[in-house]
Amino acid sequence: DAGITQSPRHKVTETGTPVTLRCHQTENHRYMYWYRQDPGHGLRLIHYSYGVKDTDKGEVSDGYSVSRSKTEDFLLTLESATSSQTSVYFCAISEGASSGTDTQYFGPGTRLTVL
Amino acid sequence: GDSVTQMEGPVTLSEEAFLTINCTYTATGYPSLFWYVQYPGEGLQLLLKATKADDKGSNKGFEATYRKETTSFHLEKGSVQVSDSAVYFCALYNFNKFYFGSGTKLNVKP
């Protein structure tokens, strides 16, 4: 299994509070991703990173920011949590497309509840 | 744009039944195709993949063949077990982006 951990695994917070989720990898992969998973919506990409300090938006980036100061860590921050951000959040990693193909590997997920 | 469409679930089967979960895709060029499995409370795990037309991916008794002529990558297993109960996601990789289907829940009854 790919070495990907997420912390915390569960969190309950209140509307308006800041929340930071952490993804840590031991694979030295270049790309890291944050997804959210909601019933009826499958997986939706929030943000991704293609290197240290290099990030870009996904399809549902509003209300989220990310940072990557080290290869192994990718942080997702909700500046002011809202109930619509209650979800399960998954981190994923991939090596990058030097060979023309690539594979994503997923972390165990963080279940976030915003009251 | 690129996309993946998979059959809606849930799919309910009896143990030892034959499984097919349909997946079709829309993409330019030559994408790579994947099946992931998600067990309750866990993240997605790579089940199998195929990187070019006519390739067959296989793992744990599951198989899928990359059919470019029909733009399909259907997942099959000859005899399912209760432990195969999970959500299955079809996905593709093309031009540095990943695209996922909405997932198909499989329930296998003893």
* Burial profile A60-81: b = 16 or more Cβ within 10 angstroms, e = fewer: bbeebebebeeebebbbebeeb
Tokens of B80: 């399912």
- Is there a contact between A108 and B32 if contact means CB atoms under 8 Å apart? no
Does the CB of B44 have a partner CB in chain A at under 8 Å? yes
pLDDT of residue A12: 98
Confidence check: pLDDT of A1 > 80: no
Closest CA to A109 of B74, B107, B57, B44: B44
Alpha-carbon distance B110 to nearest alpha carbon in chain A (angstroms): 26
- Average pLDDT in chain A: 93
Q: What is the pLDDT of residue B25?
A: 97
DSSP H or E segment with residue B92? strand B86-94
Higher pLDDT, B3 or A101: B3
What pLDDT, on the 0 to 100 scale, is given for residue A115? 96
A107 touches B at CB < 8 Å: yes
Nearest CA in chain A to B94: A101
Residues of chain B with pLDDT under 70: none
More confident residue, A4 or A2: A4
Q: Is the pLDDT of residue A28 over 70?
A: yes
Residue B26 to residues A78, B44, B48, B92, Cα–Cα distance (Å):
33, 22, 19, 9
pLDDT (tens digit per residue) in A48-97: 999 999 999 998 999 999 999 999 999 999 999 999 999 999 999 998 76
Percent of chain A that is helix, strand, coil (3-state, to 5): 5, 55, 40
- B99 in reach of chain A (CB within 8 A): no
pLDDT at residue number A96: 79
Please report the sign of the dihedral spanned by the C-alpha atoms of residue B59, residue B12, residue A109, residue A76.
positive
A101, pLDDT greater than 90? no
What tokens appear for B51 in the block? 């990187």
pLDDT at A64: 97
Contact A22, A7 (CB under 8 A): yes
Please name the residues between 24 and 63 in chain A that touch chain B, using a CB distance below 8 Å: 33, 40-43, 45
Residue B107 makes CB contacts below 8 A (sequence gap 6+) with B10, B11, B12, B13, B85
Give the pair of three-digit tokens for residue A83.
């109930």
- Chain B environment of A41 (Cβ under 8 Å): 102
Residue A100: its pLDDT value, please? 67
CA B96 to chain centre: 20
How far is Cα A51 from Cα B2, in angstroms, rounded to an integer? 24
* Rounded Cα distance, A75 and A73, in Å: 7
Contacts of A99 (CB under 8 A, 6+ apart): none
Whether the per-residue pLDDT at A98 is higher than 90: the answer is no
